[in-house]
Amino acid sequence: MLETAASASSPRAAAAAAVVSSPRRGGAAAHHHRRWSPPSFRACLVALWLVGFGFVILWQGTSVGRVRLYTRPPMPKRAAASLGQWVASPPVYDLREFGAVGDGRTVNTAAFESAIAAIAERGGGRLTVPPGRWLTAPFNLTSHMTLFLAAGAEILGIQDERYWPLMSPLPSYGYGREHKGPRYGSLIHGQDLKDVTITGHNGTINGQGQSWWIKFRRKLLNHTRGPLVQLMRSSDIIISNITLRDSPFWTLHMYDCKNITISETTILAPIAGAPNTDGIDPDSCENVVIKNCYISVGDDGIAIKSGWDQYGIAYGRPSANIAIQNVVIRSMVSAGVSIGSEMSGGVTNVLVENVHVWDSRRGVRIKTAPGRGAYVTNVMYRNITLENVRVGIVIKTDYNEHPDEGFDPKAVPTIGNISYTSIHGHRVRVPVRIQGSAEIPVKNVTFHDMSIGIVDKKHHVFQCSFVQGQVIGYVFPMPCKNLDLYDERRELVKQSTLQNISDIDYSF
C-alpha cells in the first residue's frame, strides 16, 4: 500500500529531490548550505495515518467501558421479575387435557373445574373448548381468564336441576324472583372477578332450557330458575363471537358489574313457550356497551334493571352509562329494549341507537310502578326501526308486580329527559303509548324526525296521558295534544295546556 502510494507520487518526489541536491548560485559555498524544502507528500500521508490510527486505539481503550455501562446497565432483581412477568404468555389449556369427552353424554363438570383451577393457580390463562358437545353441570370462572369456544364447540347444561347449586337470593330482589328462599345458580357463573372474557369462533353455550320451561309452567320447581351466564360484582368483562341459546331463565345476566362489552353475540330462544328468557340484562351495572348483536328470545331482548322495590332502593346501585348500538331484536312476547320494571336503584344515561325491532309485541319500552322509587332519566333513542310491531314506543307507570307487601306505594319514580329521534317503521299498530299518571307524570319527552307506517287508520294511535314535552319538526302520525309543537328551527309553534289529559286506548 505505501509503496503504491509512493510510486504514484514519484514524479513530484523526484522533482523535490532534484531541487534539494542542486547547488545554489554563488559557487562552492553553496555545497555547504542546502536549500530547505517541505516534507514529501508521502511522508505527510504516512504521518497522518499513524496519528489517526493512534487516536482510534486510544479512544477504544478509554471508552469501551463507558459504552457497556450505558447500553447494558445491571437490572434490579425486582424490575427483572416484573419484566419477566409482563412478557410471559398466559397458559393455554385444552379442555381434553383434563379428561373431558365431547360426546354429549359424558358429564364434564370435573374437567371444567380442574382446568379453571389450573388457570387460577397460574394467575390467568385461556381455556379452549374444542369442537364437540360438552355436557356439564354449572361451574365457576376465575379472574384474568378467557373461555374460548372453537367453531363447532357446544357447552350443554345438564337438565337435571339436582346438579344445579342453590344460591342466596339477590340482595336487590328480596326473597327471590319466583320463589322465596334460595335460587338456582347459573350454568356459567362468576362473582367478584376482574378481567373475564368469553369468546370464540361462534361456539355455543346451550342451557337446554326446555325441561325447565315445562317444569316452571307445571309449577314443579321450588326455587327461582337460574340464568345461563351470570357474573356478579365483577369488572372488565368481554363477551363476543359466541351463541347463547335456550336458557332456563334470563340468558345473560350482569349483576352489579362495571366496564362490560358485549358484541357480535347471537342469543336465541323460542319466541313462544320459553318464559322469562330475556336476552341481555344489565342489572345495577355501569359502563356497558352492547353492539352488533342478534337477539330472538321469549321475553325482552334487552332489559336494563336495578333492583325491585324496597330491596332495590336499599341496595342503591343504579344502571348508568349504557350504550346499545347496531342490534337486531325479535320479541313476540315482550319488547325489543326495555328499562325496568325492576329499576329501584335508578337508570340514567342510556343510548339506544341503530336498533331494528321486528315481529315483536313492543319496540322500546320503559315500565315502572308506585313502590319502585328512584328514577329513569337521560335516555336517548336514536335511529330506531320498527317492523311489524304491535306497539312501537311505550312508557308504562302501573306495572304492578311487587316482591311482597312490604313495598312503599308512596315511593314513586321520576321519569324525564327522554328523547326519540329518527324513529321509522311500517306495519305498526300503535306507534306511541306514553301512560303517565297523576302520581308519576312523564316530563320533558322529545320527538324529532319520526315517520311510522300504521296498520289501523281509524283509531288515534299516538296516545298520551300525563305527559309534558315537545315535538320538533315533522312527526307522523299526528302527535297527541299533550305536547308542545316546534318547527325545525326549534321555534315554538304551539304550546300545549293539556299535559294531563289522557287518550290511552287498549281496545285494539
The amino acid at residue 465 is S
- Cell for 22? 542542486
Pairing of strands 484-486, 492-494: antiparallel
- pLDDT by residue (tens digit) across 74-114? 433 333 344 444 457 899 999 999 999 999 999 999 999 99
Confidence of residue 46 (pLDDT cuts 50, 70, 90): low
How many whole angstroms separate alpha carbon 350 and alpha carbon 380?
6
Contact present, 378 and 350 (Cβ < 8 Å): yes
Between the CA of residue 463 and those of 99, 109, 497, what are the distances in Å?
61, 53, 16
- Cell for 222? 321450588
Q: Which domains does the chain have, with CATH numbers?
A: 89-234 (2.160.20.10), 278-507 (2.160.20.10)
- Secondary structure, 3-state, 22-48: CCCCCCHHHHHCCCCCCCCHHHHHHHH
Pairing of strands 125-129, 145-149: parallel
Confidence of residue 460 (pLDDT cuts 50, 70, 90): confident
Q: Return the H-helix or E-strand segment holding 487.
A: none
Among candidates 478, 476, 479, 481, which has minimal Cα distance to 466?
Answer: 481
- Cell for 126? 385461556
How many whole angstroms separate alpha carbon 507 and alpha carbon 488?
34
- The pLDDT assigned to 39 comes to 53
278, 299, 300, 484: the active-site residue: 299
pTM beyond 0.75: yes
Neighbouring CB atoms inside 10 A of 44's CB total: 11
Average pLDDT over residues 223-230: 97
The whole-chain average pLDDT of the chain stands at 87
pLDDT above 80 (res 184): yes
- pLDDT by residue (tens digit) across 349-391? 999 999 999 999 999 999 999 999 999 999 999 999 999 999 9
How many whole angstroms separate alpha carbon 479 and alpha carbon 469?
11
- The pLDDT assigned to 53 comes to 52
- Secondary structure, 3-state, 166-196: EECCCHHHCCCCCCCCCEECCCEEEECCEEE
State residue 396 phi and psi, 5-degree precision.
-130, 130
How many whole angstroms separate alpha carbon 123 and alpha carbon 30?
98
Helix (H, G, I), strand (E, B) or coil at 327: strand
Confidence of residue 489 (pLDDT cuts 50, 70, 90): very high
How many whole angstroms separate alpha carbon 138 and alpha carbon 165?
8
Between the CA of residue 22 and those of 27, 42, 486, what are the distances in Å?
12, 22, 116
- The pLDDT assigned to 175 comes to 80
Contact present, 143 and 196 (Cβ < 8 Å): yes
Contact present, 412 and 437 (Cβ < 8 Å): no
Confidence of residue 503 (pLDDT cuts 50, 70, 90): confident
Contact present, 176 and 166 (Cβ < 8 Å): no
pLDDT above 80 (res 27): no
- The pLDDT assigned to 508 comes to 72
- The pLDDT assigned to 51 comes to 54
E strand map for 280-318? 280-283, 286-296, 302-304
- The pLDDT assigned to 21 comes to 36
Among 68-77, 242-251, 404-413, the range scoring the smallest mean pLDDT is 68-77
Helix (H, G, I), strand (E, B) or coil at 366: strand
- pLDDT by residue (tens digit) across 269-316? 999 999 999 999 999 999 999 999 999 999 999 999 999 999 999 999
192 catalytic residue (yes or no): no
- pLDDT by residue (tens digit) across 107-138? 999 999 999 999 999 999 999 999 999 999 99
- pLDDT by residue (tens digit) across 416-447? 999 999 999 999 999 999 999 999 999 999 99
Contact present, 293 and 263 (Cβ < 8 Å): yes
Burial of 410 (C-beta count, 10 Å sphere; 0-12/13-18/19+): exposed
- The pLDDT assigned to 81 comes to 41
Interior CA angle at 100 toward 95 and 106, to 5°? 145
- Cell for 277? 328468557
Residues 6+ positions from 375 with CB-CB distance below 8 Å: 346, 347, 348, 413, 414, 415, 416
Confidence of residue 18 (pLDDT cuts 50, 70, 90): very low
Residues 6+ positions from 283 with CB-CB distance below 8 Å: 172, 253, 254, 255, 256, 304, 305, 306, 307, 319, 342
- The pLDDT assigned to 457 comes to 75
DSSP assignment of 146-173 equals EEEE-TTEEEEE-S-GGGSPEEPPPGGG
- Cell for 27? 559557487
pLDDT above 60 (res 30): no
Query: ω into residue 507 within 30 of 0, thus cis?
Result: no
pLDDT over 70, % of the chain: 83
Confidence of residue 203 (pLDDT cuts 50, 70, 90): very high
